[in-house]
């Protein structure tokens, strides 16, 4: 069969016009967080929030951020411990790296490093091979930069001379501790 144009005069049938495209419905944007500062949480860690109060010993196998209050003992020797700006700790704190932004009433034992931030305060002793006291931080106690072997500190091949003081960097404060 061959297509042949019809020779009859065309009858006028208006072509249906397609409806104009409707705008696609868009999903509403996710609401912005109402809190000015989202809670900090490490990828493999836990957070004790500002409204939490714990009385007793804490231990575990993950990094910890403390924004609330803790009384007792914090024992995470293999992990990092951060006492946040809102954190208030009345305990001895054991960790791999211990960062203090809030307040600690107790001793701090860090296997690798202890850091006292500008807004932080420690009333107790610090035992860590590396210690940082930021300018403006508050510290009352002593610093021992020899970590006991039971804390997992690095073994030292030679003992430092007891007659030479070890210097701890503290910005303009110029804090010195004797070894």
- pLDDT for 133 equals 97
- 159 is a domain residue: no
Give per-10-residue mean pLDDT for the chain (179 aa). 56 57 51 45 77 96 97 96 98 98 98 97 98 97 83 49 42 42
- 14 is a domain residue: no
Spatial contact of 82 and 97, defined as CB atoms under 8 Å apart: no
- 131 is a domain residue: yes
- pLDDT for 85 equals 97
Q: Tokens 């009352």 correspond to what residue?
A: 140
pTM of the model: 0.63
Spatial contact of 118 and 99, defined as CB atoms under 8 Å apart: no
- 10 is a domain residue: no
Total domains, the chain: 1
3-class DSSP state of 75 = strand
Spatial contact of 100 and 83, defined as CB atoms under 8 Å apart: yes
Q: What angle do CA 26, 28, 32 make, to 5 degrees?
A: 145
Summarised one tens digit per residue, pLDDT across range 6-25 is 555 555 555 555 555 555 55
The residue range of the domain holding 73 is: 46-151+165-177
Phi, psi of 112 (to 5 degrees): -110, -50
- Can you spell out the DSSP letters for 133-166? E-TT-EEES-EE----GGGTPPPPSSPPPTTSPE
- 19 is a domain residue: no
- 1 is a domain residue: no
**H/E element holding 178?**
none
Q: Which of 112, 71, 75, 111 lies closest to 88, judged by CA?
A: 71
- 171 is a domain residue: yes
- 15 is a domain residue: no
């Amino acid at each position: 069969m061959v297509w042949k144009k019809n020779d009859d005069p065309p009858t006028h049938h208006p072509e249906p016009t397609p409806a104009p495209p409707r705008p696609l419905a868009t999903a509403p944007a996710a609401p912005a967080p109402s809190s000015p500062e989202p809670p900090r949480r490490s990828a493999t860690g836990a957070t004790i929030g500002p409204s939490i109060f714990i009385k007793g010993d804490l231990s575990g196998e993950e990094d910890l951020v403390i924004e609330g209050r803790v009384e007792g003992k914090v024992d995470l020797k293999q992990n990092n411990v951060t006492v946040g700006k809102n954190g208030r700790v009345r305990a001895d704190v054991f960790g791999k790296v211990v960062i203090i932004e809030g307040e600690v009433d107790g001793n701090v034992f860090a296997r690798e490093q202890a850091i006292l931030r500008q807004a932080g305060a420690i009333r107790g002793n610090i035992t860590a091979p590396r210690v940082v006291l930021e300018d403006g931080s508050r510290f009352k106690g002593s610093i021992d930069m020899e970590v006991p072997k039971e804390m997992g500190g690095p073994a030292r091949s030679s003992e430092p001379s007891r007659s030479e003081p070890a210097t701890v960097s503290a910005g303009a404060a110029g804090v010195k501790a004797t070894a």
